């Protein structure tokens, strides 16, 4: 009889280890949080023997639900889990990255690279939590934490490759890809999308008089001010040299013109400290809006560029709208 019980336990442990291996293999192929979520949704209920297991991730002082059943996606349940996760992470056991019992949940810190990234929670109803099962859950938490950290690093690497290192704005290649996508989306939704192109006035004179390091400081200041003034959803791009581009989703032409004029004034009022001098700068702006059903990125950018050069020809430090957009 004892031999039979031992055989059953051995089979159960072997099945758990096999499920853990499958989880690890699937996570190893996942390079973004979306695919990690899909993997966890598929494998965690089997591993935990519960449909109510959950994962909360912590980023920038905020909690984000990675996994929870549809009926448990309500905000009040998420707040409860945030509370449980916070209490669990404050415990001594969590500091040692050990499983923690907290308010009816077995909580396992997700720790990788010296950072606590979140919490894996398994309800007590999935118990009993034998020492062997806790080791399996701890291993699952480690695999999940490594996958999440790798996804974060991959995203950071991808973002860095798409950004201009000096200004923090996206580069030209990425901007064109995003504009292509937004134009297609705008065509389907029939929502407006506008584009601003601007150029720093007399930038060559700044480089010639003060040197290229000063020119770099001016460009960096422009990138910083763009982030201060524009929405998070607005694409900010260094298009080339001293030329910048802004994509404004769901923004009509008049709204884009107001945004351009606000940014123009902000740049003109922005002091730039260089050595013992205080410098100022201005910029010229061209604005356009995509035509209904328009999908040609080059045509939209070309109109914004033409409006920009009209602003240059008409005295600089001003905003001009493309004639075609005004007629449309």
Tell me what pLDDT residue 128 has.
82
**Strands 283-289, 319-321: parallel, antiparallel or unpaired by DSSP?**
parallel
The better pLDDT of the pair 312, 127 is held by 312
Q: Is residue 166 part of a domain?
A: no
Q: Is residue 83 part of a domain?
A: yes
pLDDT tens profile 72-103: 455 556 677 777 777 767 765 555 556 777 77
pLDDT band at 325 (very low <50, low <70, confident <90, very high): low
Exactly one of 52, 242, 294, 296 is catalytic; which is it?
Answer: 242
Taking the CB of residue 191, how many other CB atoms lie within 10 A of it? Answer: 14
Q: What average pLDDT does this structure show over 52-71? A: 76
Q: Whole-prediction pTM value?
A: 0.61
pLDDT tens profile 134-176: 899 999 999 999 999 999 999 888 888 899 999 999 999 999 9
Q: What is the CATH number of the domain that holds 302?
A: 3.30.70.270
Q: Is residue 53 part of a domain?
A: yes
Can you say how many angstroms the Cα of residue 299 is from the centroid of all Cα atoms in its chain?
A: 29
pLDDT band at 2 (very low <50, low <70, confident <90, very high): low
148 and 257 fall within a common domain = no
pLDDT at 71 over 60: no
212 and 274 fall within a common domain = yes
Tell me what pLDDT residue 6 has.
63
Q: Is position 34 annotated as part of the catalytic site? A: no
Can you say how many angstroms the Cα of residue 248 is from the centroid of all Cα atoms in its chain?
A: 18
Average pLDDT, the chain: 87
pLDDT at 301 over 80: yes
Q: What is the span of the domain harbouring residue 156?
A: 2-160
From 160, 188, 207, the end of a domain falls on 160
Sheet holding 54-59, edge to edge: 62-67, 54-59, 115-123, 105-112, 100-102
pLDDT tens profile 219-277: 999 999 999 999 998 999 999 999 999 999 999 999 999 999 999 999 999 999 999 89
178 and 294 fall within a common domain = yes
152 and 182 fall within a common domain = no
Tell me what pLDDT residue 328 has.
46
Q: Is residue 165 part of a domain?
A: no
Q: How many domains does the chain have?
A: 2
Q: Is residue 48 part of a domain?
A: yes
Tell me what pLDDT residue 327 has.
47
From 98, 132, 160, the end of a domain falls on 160
Spell out where 42-189 has E strands.
54-59, 62-67, 100-102, 105-112, 115-123
**Strands 272-274, 235-240: parallel, antiparallel or unpaired by DSSP?**
unpaired
């Amino acid at each position: 009889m004892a031999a039979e019980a031992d055989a059953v336990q051995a089979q159960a442990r072997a099945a758990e280890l096999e499920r853990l291996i499958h989880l690890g293999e699937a996570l190893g192929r996942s390079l973004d949080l979306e695919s990690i979520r899909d993997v966890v949704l598929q494998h965690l209920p089997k591993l935990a023997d519960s449909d109510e297991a959950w994962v909360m991730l912590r980023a920038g002082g905020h909690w984000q639900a990675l996994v929870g059943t549809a009926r448990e996606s309500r905000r009040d349940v998420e707040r409860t889990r945030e509370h449980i996760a916070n209490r669990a992470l404050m415990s001594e056991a969590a500091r040692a990255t050990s499983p923690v019992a907290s308010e009816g949940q077995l909580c396992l810190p997700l720790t990788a690279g010296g950072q606590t990234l979140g919490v894996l929670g398994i309800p007590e109803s999935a118990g009993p939590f034998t020492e062997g099962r806790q080791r399996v859950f701890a291993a699952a938490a480690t695999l999940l934490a490594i996958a999440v950290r790798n996804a974060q690093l991959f995203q950071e690497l991808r973002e860095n490759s798409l950004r201009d290192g000096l200004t923090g704005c996206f580069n030209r290649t990425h901007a064109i890809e995003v504009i292509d996508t937004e134009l297609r989306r705008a065509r389907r939704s029939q929502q407006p999308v506008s584009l601003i192109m601007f150029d720093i006035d007399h930038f060559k004179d700044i480089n010639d008089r003060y040197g290229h390091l000063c020119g770099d400081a001016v460009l960096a200041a422009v990138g910083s001010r763009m982030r201060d003034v524009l929405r998070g959803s607005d694409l900010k791009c260094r298009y080339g040299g001293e030329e910048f581009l802004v994509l404004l989703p769901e923004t009509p032409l008049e709204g884009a013109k107001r945004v351009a004029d606000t940014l123009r004034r902000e740049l003109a009022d922005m002091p730039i400290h260089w050595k013992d001098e205080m410098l100022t700068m201005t910029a010229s702006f061209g604005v356009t809006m995509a035509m209904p059903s328009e999908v040609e990125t080059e045509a939209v950018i070309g109109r914004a560029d033409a409006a920009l050069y009209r602003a240059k020809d008409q005295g600089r430090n001003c905003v001009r709208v493309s004639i075609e957009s005004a007629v449309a």
